[in-house]
Amino acid sequence: MSCDFISLACPSVQDLVPYQPGKPAEELERELGLIDVIKLASNENPMGPSPRVIDAIKQHLPDISLYPDGGGYRLKKALSEKFSVPVEKLTLGNGSNDVIDLIGRAYLNVGDEVIYSEFSFVAYSIVAQAVGATAVITPAKDWGHDLDAMLAAISDRTRMIFIANPNNPTGTWVTRAQLNAFLDQVPEHVLVVLDEAYTEYVDQAEFPNGLLLIDAYPNLIVTRTFSKAYGLAGLRVGFAVSNGSVANVLSRVRQPFNVNSLALVAAEAALMDDAYIEQGVALNKQGMALYEKELTALGLSYIPSVGNFITVDFTVDAQPIYQAMLAEGVIVRPIASYTMPQHLRISIGLQEENERCLNVLNRVMNP
């Protein structure tokens, strides 16, 4: 092959590093011949989907030869009723990552600046680089967002700011007062994308609900997902809430039928099962308490988290520890790609999964 097809790609894409997901359990089983592998790497809901979701999917399986509702009428109506937001402010996506990509493609040009924090979700850098925008990465404060530093970084070229609340992979968060004070100072022409992928897990009185801020801040876009607390990571469905004009723009770059028919009915059913969410949140709280207790007993420090994961600091290169845990059939997440090579992120699982992970970690740390 004489043609260099990489050089034919857009300059901004040539140096782009693809997103690296957590290792699938089946892959580890194939590689090492293991059975009974547990995966605590991708912040998935360990309970599996709601029974209501399974029933809804079964009922709609005969319809998969037909295109889905391109407008997502029923899901939008359910979201509108659940969260008290007008339908015209909603944008559906193939996961919240898809919505974030839509926002970038709709509003970012080559040379525009995009502000996001150190140690924040890697999708922001991918979106910015893919369209040729310039990333402005502000230093973290206590592993989380330094909103004052982000304000100070705003320039005439700033077009967009990403804030994950809670933040992945650190589990840190900003308060309602901090967020409001920040939004009050951001110029109206600068879009603020508030990524609330883990909001259902948070039990903090001062934690903000971004959906309640849309009317006060026309430049605010809130993204949420069904991949975490709602247990639909494999179906890929998320949404954004914004002012109607922004939603109108996003609809112009959204691919037709970007949310499949089973995802639409599954998400609608998941929204109706409050008991499932409550059970998942309680399970997560119990698991988090166990990790905090046992990690402390092991002499390991961690970043306090309000999400469904906990990030552990080993003070040395964590890759050998990750590999040793893989050898015992436990998959966690190395985050060297986030410039955190001494840390591993562990998703909260079922009780027996959490106990097994901690037992394996104990053996690895104390051979």
- The sign of the torsion formed by the CA atoms of 125, 334, 288, 140 equals negative
> How does pLDDT run across 4-62, given as a tens digit for each residue?
867 777 777 777 677 677 777 788 778 778 788 999 999 999 999 999 999 999 999 99
Assigned token pair, 176: 């309602």
DSSP states along 64-103: TTS---TT-HHHHHHHHHHHT--GGGEEEESSHHHHHHHH
How much is the pLDDT for 216? 97
How much is the pLDDT for 88? 97
Instruction: Give the residue from 199, 249, 248, 240 showing the smallest Cα distance to 221.
Output: 240
- Domains of the chain in sequence order: 21-48+275-365 (3.90.1150.10), 51-272 (3.40.640.10)
Instruction: Give the residue from 303, 360, 341, 332 showing the smallest Cα distance to 44.
Output: 332
DSSP 8-state code for residue 200: G
How much is the pLDDT for 147? 98
How much is the pLDDT for 19? 65
How much is the pLDDT for 105? 95
pTM: 0.94
How much is the pLDDT for 5? 67
- Give me the residue label for tokens 């600046």: 113
Question: Kind and range of the H or E element at 303?
Answer: strand 301-303
d(CA 116, CA 145): 8
> How does pLDDT run across 325-346, given as a tens digit for each residue?
999 999 999 999 899 999 999 9
Tell me which residues of the chain have a pLDDT lower than 50.
none
CA-to-CA dists, residue 263 to 72, 112, 269, 274, angstroms:
10, 34, 10, 18
The total number of residues shown for the chain amounts to: 367
- CB within 8 A of 71, min separation 6: which ones? none
Angle between helices 319-327 and 25-32 (to 10 degrees): 70
